[in-house]
Amino acid sequence: MIQKKICMLGGFAVGKTSLVKRLISGMFSEKYLTTVGVKIDQKSLSVCGQDLLLVLWDLYGDDDFQKVRASYLQGASGYILVIDGTRKETVEVAGKLHELARKTIGPVPFVLLLNKHDLVNEWVVESPMVSDLSDQACLVSMVSAKTGEGVEAAFSALSEAMLKS
Amino acid sequence: MSGSLPDPSFLSVFDALIFQKTAERFDHLGDLPSWFPPPGLRQEIDLPPGQLVDRSFFLQHFLHEAEEWWESGKRGQCKSGLWSEPALFGEDVVLEATAVRHRSLRYVILQRFGPDFLPIQPLLQKAREEQLSHRQAVNQHERIEAQLGSRLAKSEQERDDVMAVLDGLGLGTIMLNANRDVTFISGKARELLQTDPARMIGRTLVEGSPWKPADSVRVEEMGRLPGSQRQVVPVVMDRKNRSATALEVEVQDDPRDPRKTILLLKDVSEMEALRRQLVGPTQFHNLVGKCPAMRAVYERIGDIAVVDVPVLIDGETGTGKELVARALHQLSPRHEHPFLPVNCAGLTDSLLGSQLFGHKRGAFTGATSDHEGFFESAEGGTLLLDEIGDMPLSIQTTLLRVLQEGEIIRLGESRPRKVNVRVLAATNQPLQELVDKGVFRADLLYRIRVARLRLPPLRERREDIPLLSTAFFEKSRVAFGKMQVLGMAPETMQRFLRYSWPGNVRELQAALEYALIHCRSEIILPTDLPPELCDVFPAVQSSPFLKSNERQRILDALAQTKGKRAQAAKLVGMSRSTFYRRLTELNISQEESSR
Ligand SMILES: Nc1nc2c(ncn2[C@@H]2O[C@H](COP(=O)(O)OP(=O)(O)O)[C@@H](O)[C@H]2O)c(=O)[nH]1
Ligand SMILES: [Mg+2]
């Protein structure tokens, strides 16, 4: 079975862990438990008739306390860049991580997820702010780990893109 | 040796899994830790611990890093960082791998931290939660701010809309607070006041407005009266170098707070200008010009006016002879009595005679009632006999007698009537030549030219053209409601200055009116001018080009006025008699002129 390593990248508390949890277990928890290190999960998917094992590297959020170690990105075939629609500053963090990824692993496919779409009334992120990133992403999607909206589709899209590249 | 290597079982105190890397394999040292096998391996009991490495995605990844580190020969240790891999090690289990070297031997130490074992976790958790809640508070703030902002924007928009409506109605708005200080000035009001709003805001009208203090006081006082007693306050603002602005100021209470006042300013300058025109076209000042020749004329007018003698006013058509006559009348002791201008051209003997001297009922066919002539009507005042060169000889004779005797006899009557009228005569023809030709009585000429005034043709006083243009421009744009036209292009003025102006000031006025009517932009361009001004280089009246051009212009004017000659004459800037003469000279037939 083909294995593909995918990194979850984004600022802290944007919902990376929640998105993975939603994908794997279909569950969601309101309670915030910060991810201290790298969290590794697996998910098997069938994409375009191909069975695929996604190895998901949920990296802790990049902030003043912890910096993402570039070496963790090595070997990834794609990544998921997550932005929290209710927090502007997560756009900037996503931009930096995207650069780091480009430098470390080159132009592998990635999807840009604007998470917490269930809170769309509180959104402050507008599409022009992310236009640089969206131009390069193979998919831009508004998702919600809480409701599950768009989550599976995002992973499928990335898998497809990875298989093609 | 001071001590032997401790038994590897000693390592069990760390509860860690220790591998030694040999060639291709991982052999574990000492006892297995208490947490081994982890949940992911429990089914496969006989699995050698080294296989754990193969099962862990993270360890696989880390070993690449460790390998590099071992090769690099660096000292110390290489740490993997904390990680979890629930599928293999179970939920809430965090591990860390450390690569070390002892001599040439390579080791990997695998440590496991339970949920309570990680002091860093609660710290990070707390720090991040705080940051999140801070962010949330900031977000909330910003949201409220944005909401308030958009509410403000909405009310500003509403206010702008109201202002736009007021501006559109030509109403300027000024708001005063309870202390009668200006708090707001709308765009239109700024325009009307022509003043920097910063000079008015926060001040009273008396302190800040460009109005005369008395006007400001009247506006303020009006505000103190109960609404039903208030009236519109007229305010005229005279300003240097521009025409006066006449305003009507309506004082209203602010419906939201009756202690505050709203002033509505309405520009009534146009009405005011029209009113002034109605009242005062007979004033001395209607003569425009400051060239020496005109100054001399003014001076002479002043001198002659007070001497009660006939005056002959000599000047080309359109030079303003009638204006001079009016000025003479106004400045004379007769000014409270009538001034009557009579055109002597184009009338038959009997008609002109009866007009001037009156007639008795039945004096001639059509004389159905007694009629008082101009001499009688102008009793005590002044009579202007315009185009006196065109006066039939028989009338000349009668006129001479009237001037000598001071009495008239109505046609068909024999009883003379005393008249007290000052006679002024105007001509654009050289009367001496007419005398030589025998069509004008010499004795009459001597009689009427006791005092003489010659008006220079416009081409002899070109320096006055800008002044005249401006005067007519201002007058006409008001009259034609063409307030959007603001001025004349320099090229237009140049043409004016170069043109020969055979029709003199009247032609200039007509040309300006023509241009104003045709003007579609904010300034009058040369293309707006009548055709004869479009090519003014060889500006000689007798050029055949101009002649043919003039013919066309007269025809155009006739067409425009549907054959009405008096109006057409006005349009082309000629007196009626000149116009009639030109009609003949240019061979414009009756049918051609009424087409
Ligand atoms: N309303 C809402 N909350 C979410 C969503 N995704 C994550 N969260 C919450 O956001 C917080 C951080 O999520 P987490 O997955 O730990 O973020 P990570 O730091 O990026 O892994 C948690 O309290 C989640 O419950 C979402 O789609 N909607
Ligand atoms: Mg996380």
CATH number at residue B450: 3.40.50.300
CB-based contact, B61 to chain A, within 8 Å:
yes
Contact B127 A41 (CB under 8 A): no
**B160 lies in a domain?**
no
Q: What is the pLDDT of residue B273?
A: 55
Among the partner residues B87, B94, B128, nearest to A34 by beta-carbon distance = B128
* Same domain as B179, residue B125: no
Interface test with B, best of A40, A90, A93 (most B CBs within 10 A): A40
Q: How many angstroms separate the CA atoms of B341 and B313, rounded?
A: 13
| Whether residues B183 and B101 fall in one domain | no
Where would I find the H helices in B333-452?
349-357, 374-377, 393-405, 431-437, 442-448
Task: Quote the radius of gyration of chain A (alpha carbons, Å).
Answer: 14
Please check whether residue B425 lies inside any domain of the structure. Answer: yes
Give the pLDDT mean for A12-28. Answer: 93
The response to whether residue A35 sits with its C-beta less than 6 Å from ligand 1 reads yes
> Taking the CB of residue B474, how many other CB atoms lie within 10 A of it?
13
Strands B233-239 and B407-409: unpaired
Q: Is B132 on the interface with A (CB under 8 A)?
A: yes
Range of B471's domain? 459-534
pLDDT value for B7? 63
ipTM: 0.91
Chain B (75-114) residues lying within 8 Å, Cβ to Cβ, of chain A: 81-87, 94, 96
Q: What is the distance between the alpha carbons of residues B535 and B541, in angstroms, rounded to a whole number?
A: 12
What confidence score (pLDDT) does residue B8 get?
A: 61
**Calpha distance B252→B176 (Å, rounded):** 10
Instruction: Give yes or no: residues B269 and B305 share one domain.
Output: no
For residues B223 and B200, state if they share a domain: yes
Question: DSSP letters of B160-213?
Answer: HHHHHHHHHTTEEEEEE-TT--EEEE-HHHHHHHTS-GGGTBTS-HHHHSSS-H
Residue B545 lies in a domain: no
Residue B131 pLDDT: 80
Q: How many CB pairs under 8 A join A and B?
A: 71
The reply to whether B122 and B204 lie within a common domain is no
- Higher-confidence residue: A20 or B569? A20
Provide the residue-wise pLDDT of chain B in tens; the chain has 595 residues.
344 555 666 666 678 888 888 877 888 888 888 888 898 888 876 778 888 888 999 999 999 999 999 999 888 889 898 899 999 998 888 898 999 888 888 889 898 877 666 666 777 778 788 888 887 787 777 777 777 777 777 777 777 766 766 676 667 888 888 888 998 888 888 888 888 888 889 999 988 888 888 888 888 888 888 877 788 888 878 765 556 677 888 888 887 788 888 888 887 766 555 555 444 333 345 788 878 888 888 888 988 998 999 999 999 999 999 999 999 998 899 998 999 999 998 788 888 998 899 988 887 777 788 888 999 999 999 999 999 999 999 999 999 999 999 999 998 889 999 999 999 999 999 999 999 999 999 999 999 998 999 999 999 988 888 888 888 888 888 778 788 888 888 888 888 988 889 999 999 999 999 999 888 888 898 889 998 887 654 333 333 444 456 777 788 888 878 888 888 887 777 777 778 878 877 778 777 766 5
Q: For A128-165, what is each residue's pLDDT tens digit? A: 889 889 889 999 999 999 999 999 999 999 999 999 88
The distance from CA B278 to its chain's CA centroid, rounded to whole angstroms, is 27
Interface contact B58, partner A, CB < 8 A = yes
Task: Fill in the DSSP letter of residue B55.
Answer: H
Q: Whose CA is nearest to atom 8 of ligand 1?
A: A15
For residue B109, how far is its CA from the centre of ligand 2 (angstroms)?
26
| Contacts (Cβ under 8 Å, ≥6 apart) of B178 | B257, B259, B260
The C-alpha angle B230, B234, B235, rounded to 5 degrees, equals 130
pLDDT at A74 over 70: yes
CB of A11 closer than 6 angstroms to any ligand 1 atom:
no
The C-alpha of A42 sits at a distance from chain B's nearest C-alpha, in angstroms, of: 8
Residue B9 has a pLDDT of 64
The distance from CA B411 to its chain's CA centroid, rounded to whole angstroms, is 60
pTM of the model: 0.47
Report residue A142 as tokens: 């508004």
Q: Please tell me the total count of domains within chain A.
A: 1
Question: Which residue's CA lies nearest to atom 25 of ligand 1?
Answer: A30
Least CA distance to B59: which residue of chain A?
A: A40
Q: In Å, what is the CA distance from A103 to each residue of A71, A96, A97, A108?
A: 11, 11, 10, 11
Phi, psi torsion values for A161, nearest 5 degrees:
-60, -40
Residues B409 and B525 in one domain: no
Judge if B300 and B314 occupy the same domain.
yes
Domain boundary (B230, B260, B276) is at B276
Q: Where is the domain boundary, B220, B248, B276?
A: B276
Q: Nearest CA of chain B to the CA of A143: how many Å?
A: 20
What's the gap in Å between A84 CA and the centre of ligand 1? 9
What's the B15 CA to ligand 2 centre distance in angstroms? 27
Interface probe for B, chosen from A8, A30, A36 (most Cβ of B below 10 Å), is: A36
| Cβ distance of A39 and B86 shorter than 8 Å | yes
Segment holding B506, helix H or strand E: helix B504-518
For residue B51, what pLDDT is reported? 85
What is the overall mean pLDDT for chain A? 91
Higher-confidence residue of B240 and A108: namely A108
B179 with B128, same domain: the answer is no
Q: Ligand 1 centroid vs A104 CA: distance in angstroms?
A: 27
Domain extent, residue A132, equals: 2-164
For residue B186, give every residue at least 6 positions away whose Cβ sits within 8 Å of its Cβ, in sequence order, or none: B163, B166, B167, B172, B173, B174
- Judge whether B131 is closer than 8 Å to chain A, CB to CB: yes
B147 lies in a domain? no
Q: Tell which of B406, B439, B456 closes a domain.
A: B456
Whether residues B451 and B472 share a domain: the answer is no
Residues B129 and B18 in one domain: yes
Mutate to test the pocket of ligand 1, among A8, A17, A18 (most ligand atoms within 8 A of CB): A18
Q: DSSP secondary-structure letter at A60?
A: P
> Which CATH number covers residue B185?
3.30.450.20
pLDDT at position B538 is 38
Nearest one of B481, B160, B542, B506 to B319, comparing CA atoms: B506
Distance CA A110, CA A159 (A): 10
Residue in chain B lying closest to A14 (CA) = B132
**How many domains does chain B fold into?**
5
Residue B98: C-alpha distances to residues A69, B35, B234 (Å): 16, 17, 95
Distances (CA, A) of A105 to A5, A73, A79, A139, A163: 12, 7, 10, 19, 16
- In angstroms, the CA B352 to CA B274 distance is 34
At A55, which CATH number?
Answer: 3.40.50.300
CA dihedral for B531, B533, B539, B540, sign (positive or negative): positive
CB neighbours of B346 closer than 8 A, spacing ≥ 6?
B390, B576, B577, B580
Residue B148 in domain: no
Q: Is B137 on the interface with A (CB under 8 A)?
A: no
Q: Strand pairing of A110-115 and A78-84?
A: parallel
Question: Residue B270: inside a domain, yes or no?
Answer: yes
